[in-house]
Chain A
Amino acid sequence: MKLQKFPRFLAVVILFYAVIEILFKLDVVNGYLLHIINLSLIYVILATSLNLINGITGQFSLGHMGFAGVGAYVSAALSTLVFKLSPSKPGDMLVFVGCIVAGGLAAAVVGLLIGFPSLRLKGDYLAIVTLGFGEIIRTAFNNLDVVGGPRGLLGIPKFSNFTTIIIASALSVVVIRNLIQSSHGRAMLSIRENEVAAELVGIDTTRYKVMAFTFGAFFAGIAGGLLAHLIQLAHPTQFGFIKSVEVLIMIYAGGVGSITGSILAAFGLTFLSEGLRLGIRSLADATGLPIGGEWRMVIYALLLIFIMLFRNEGLMGTKESKIIELPEVE
């Protein structure tokens, strides 16, 4: 096998995994830092999957975390309430994987149900419908006593760790990347570029919009499930509008339509967000001023304005790095 035939992306992922594991063993990376890396990897899934809907297919979804919420609650209800899984029991890891996939599938079904009626709407109208959907999902969790209502679903077993999360994250990126870089992906791109022209070269635009929504929702559901089993909690506020906007900012910061950009922005903004959280807290402690974590969102919003004004293409524009992009089949 020729060296350049070895998939570059896989090589980078393995290298990243090995380096972090070694640094963790050497105590250079502590538990807190590893947690932020895990969160970043989960945001990689959320951002790339939203990018499939908003960036590649050119739709405007504002309720992405609603799908993540479905995945989180369904997988956690299964693992915690139905199967009562425990990380210390040997076979339970496999069942956990099943729970996560079930959460993703449930989110995909919801995506499909929302997609069919609402994807006839364009632009702003679609944004409003998806926003409404996200809030409905959040309110539903808030009022469902089986899953804890406003307290949230507690005591979720901690199955998510660096290994499970990086595997899920890399797989998600590969599947979405391979989809985009196929004839089906080009069909989705054509909708973003010019919907009328897409339809008039034979693309069933409704089918591909629904497909993008369903795929996007599936992976958001996977990410939600991983998150719930990482922080051992599923809470309605994690899946509200503000959280969806955070993911939206990621894809704009990274470049709408660029998977590479989404990955970089997911890491960059997750770290920035944690940095701001710490910074604001120590500022409040030092000065005694009543400033809280909400200021993070102000800085986030300013960042978005900054991006729109000075680099409205985002970090990458629509470009991909050679690590993500597949060579043409010659």
Chain B
Amino acid sequence: MSAPLLKIEKLTHYFGGLKAVSDFNFEIPEGSIYGLIGPNGSGKTTTFNLITGIYTPTEGKISFQGHDITGQKPFRIVHRGIARTFQNLRIFGNLSALDNIRIARHYTTRSGLVSSILRMPSFKAEERQVRKEALELLDLMHLSHRATEKAKNLPYGELRRLEIARALATKPRLILLDEPAAGMNPKEVDDLMHLILRIRNEFKVTVFLIEHHMKVVMGICERIKVIDFGETIAEGLPEEVKNHPKVLEAYLGKRGA
């Protein structure tokens, strides 16, 4: 088997005395859809924050396409090809939906300050191209009608899709989705599952997702890791994980979830 796209070794992170992530080991091969599940507060979002460079891990190593990215600045990790969405939406609220996407395309643009300020033909050509691509992404997410709308005026479900579109605009190899189905109705959840499959199949982007919605996790994830209190309690195929005694205990057991 070829080298994994993302490789996480012995990842551990403390917040003061709280061990939020403990000895996390995981490998994600190119082209797969993997899931990360666990009760609230078990360290899932923190793991994403460590991968994307928001926090520097206390211990452990994160490699992407064979490069050690541990502790790099978030924007450099994006440039390497990792994009993400947020559990608590982080949109550019006062900017249009179109601008939200164009900003994510910025680092792959070439126009310098001088050609931008003088609005040279090369700048205009690039603006045209960026705009076209951004509109295509909006179209893919069924958000074309919202292009010029201020993002903060969009309903919740559309904002979730806008965040996915924005993440894709960075042209990633790997996308991290933090509870993408949260707050969605059953119809939206079905659409989301199709969308995630399309992202993988058509855009060739590898997917690593956190989700509570069991239909999504069991329906599209090829492999699942379950954590609780930062510790891995199970890992495997969906059907292996589903009936694992520790998983049942974590979800239904002592904590009375």
| B156 CB contacts on chain A under 8 angstroms | none
Q: Are B84 and A200 in contact (CB under 8 A)?
A: yes
Residues of chain B from 112 to 137 with CB closer than 8 A to chain A in the complex: 113, 116-119, 123-124, 126-128, 130-131
Could you tell me how many residues of chain A have their Cβ less than 8 Å away from some Cβ of chain B? Answer: 28
Nearest B residue to A174 by beta-carbon distance? Answer: B117
Q: Type the 1/0 row for B77-120, where 1 means its CB is closer than 8 Å to any CB of A.
A: 01100011010001111110001001111111101010011110
A175 to B107, CA, bound (A): 22
Q: Are B127 and A197 in contact (CB under 8 A)?
A: no
Q: Quick check: is B184 within 8 A (CB to CB) of the other chain?
A: no
A94 to B34, CA, bound (A): 66
Q: Are A186 and B106 in contact (CB under 8 A)?
A: yes
Given contacts A175-B117, A202-B108, 5 further A-B contacts (CB under 8 A): A178-B116, A187-B103, A193-B95, A200-B54, A257-B94
A175 to B74, CA, bound (A): 30
Q: Quick check: is A128 within 8 A (CB to CB) of the other chain?
A: no
Select which of B103, B118, B126 is within 8 A of A198 by beta carbon.
B103
Q: How far is the CB of B192 from chain A (nearest CB, A)?
A: 20
Q: Quick check: is A28 within 8 A (CB to CB) of the other chain?
A: no
Residues of B within 8 A of A (CB): 52, 54, 73-75, 78-79, 83-84, 86, 90-95, 99, 102-109, 111, 113, 116-119, 123-124, 126-128, 130-131, 166-167, 169-170
Q: Are B99 and A205 in contact (CB under 8 A)?
A: no
| B113 CB contacts on chain A under 8 angstroms | 179, 184
Q: How far is the CB of B67 from chain A (nearest CB, A)?
A: 16
Tell which of A178, A179, A196, A197 has the most Cβ of chain B within 10 Å: A197
A116 to B38, CA, bound (A): 41
Q: How far is the CB of B125 from chain A (nearest CB, A)?
A: 8
Q: Are A183 and B167 in contact (CB under 8 A)?
A: no
A106 to B61, CA, bound (A): 45
Known interface pairs A199-B74, A201-B167, A201-B170; A183-B106 also in contact (CB < 8 Å): yes
